[in-house]
Structure 1
Amino acid sequence: MKITKEKLLMTALNLFSKYGYDGVSISYLANELGVTKGAIYRHYESKQAIFDEIIQRVVKNDKDVAIKNDLPTEREGEYFVSSLDDFISFTLDQFSFYAIDEFGSAFRKMVMLEQFRNIDMIELYRGIFLTGPIEYTAKVFKSLINVKKLKGSDAEQMAREYYSSFFMYLSLSDYTSDKIKLIQELKDQLLIFKRNHGG
């Protein structure tokens, strides 16, 4: 039986999100797919290569969503951001990816699970879901403050306030089937932030 690279990748990610990276062997993955280990090795040289491609997909999604919303794709340096509205749209797109999209939500569950077992996963989790987004948001807000599109002077504090809503609703998404309602509630919270801090 032939297997597509896409099906292999998604199956591996779903298994990693349930049993952890170390809990899934190539043999287990092959058995789950009903193929030989050789069929998997024709697509990927190792389990690590599968994992690396999963990370590359997530990074690509982040960049694509940033470009779609006219935001910087790099998380270093100073940069221009056109509006808080663009950043709110970016935030809602990111929420949809990590809460609703099959690939994004399985990835988030995998990293959440693995952070308690693997020191490298702790850093990955922080970079994608904790300190990384707050640092990026603070830089965006600093840019908006500089051009008087955001009121305030403490971009880091505002970033923590803004991101706390995102993180709370992302956590809630694991416990509800009505994720569309959560998107609307998150949007309402972000619009309150805009009302309070918009320039």
Structure 2
Amino acid sequence: MFLHTSDKILEESLTLFSIHGFQGVSVEMIANAVGINAGSIYNHYDNKQSILDAIFVMMKERYLEREHYLKIPKNPEQVDDFFRHINLSHLDLISEELFLFYLEDEIEVRFRHLLIIEQFQNPQIAQLLYQRYYAEPIAFQTKLFQTMMDSGLIKEGNAKTAALHFYAPMMLLLTSYERGSITKEEAFNEIREHVQQFRELYSKE
């Protein structure tokens, strides 16, 4: 796929940042990776920080595209309707697709590595890491499970605890895979088994 120079700058910068950290990458390194002169970078971005800011915007847009692909609504009225009519089979599908996205999408993987590397140097990045991979998923799933409990689709209980039961193993398996402790196939098989057991534990069927 052909990339405009500005897009290629973002992708090459993300790759470098995910390996060396933000401070460990120079404009010259980015330019060399893109195949342009260092001065040409400034035709597209003001400085290295503006490249990082653009990466944040790009990643937010990519995640919203993934949610749209999975038919996860954003409009409040649509969200309530979605929560009230979702079934466990649909939940299985969404879970597996999102896990594969985190596992296999190279740009998503690089972005997560960037956030992990920089979290102790940059409070903004630490907050973004927390929001993207903990606070927002747990909040979404807590509301989802509460609505499913209220609608009688799953057993009653503490919705946030259910969200933690559901989500925490996914992050553990993702981390285990990235550290080389398990293979991609093992990670995906275990996530499918986890989702199935979660269904058995919480289903009223």
For this structure pair, what is the TM-score category when the shorter chain's length is used for normalisation? Answer: 0.7 to 0.9
Does 1:116 pair with 2:120?
yes
Deviations 1:60-92 (A, max 9, x none): 2332232333323379x9723222333332222
Contact map agreement 2:99 2:170 (CA 8 A) in 1? yes
Judging by fraction of residues, say which structure has more helix.
2
- Output aligned runs, 1:11-26, within 5 Å: 11-26=12-27
Match of 1:5 in 2: 6
Match of 2:166 in 1: 162
Contact map agreement 1:69 1:87 (CA 8 A) in 2? no
Corresponding residue pairs, total:
197
Q: Note the C-alpha offset of 1:3.
A: 6.9
Distance 1:30 1:6, change over 3 A: same
Distance 1:3 1:189, change over 3 A: same
Contact map agreement 1:71 1:87 (CA 8 A) in 2? no
SS in 2 for 1:126: helix
Q: Note the C-alpha offset of 1:15.
A: 0.7
Q: Separation in 2 of the partners of 1:56 and 1:104?
A: 13
SS in 2 for 1:99: helix
Q: Note the C-alpha offset of 1:146.
A: 1.8
Q: Separation in 2 of the partners of 1:138 and 1:128?
A: 15
Does 1:179 pair with 2:184?
yes
SS in 2 for 1:150: coil
Match of 2:93 in 1: 89
TM-score (norm 2): 0.85
- Output aligned runs, 1:38-53, within 5 Å: 38-53=39-54
Candidates 126, 133, 155, aligned match of 1:129: 133
Deviations 1:142-199 (A, max 9, x none): 1211221221221000001111111111101212373133112111111110111124
Match of 2:202 in 1: 197
Does 1:106 pair with 2:110?
yes
Distance 1:135 1:6, change over 3 A: same
SS in 1 for 2:156: coil
Match of 1:150 in 2: 154
Match of 1:32 in 2: 33
Q: Separation in 2 of the partners of 1:41 and 1:20?
A: 21
Q: Structure 1 regions of 5+ residues with no counterpart?
A: none
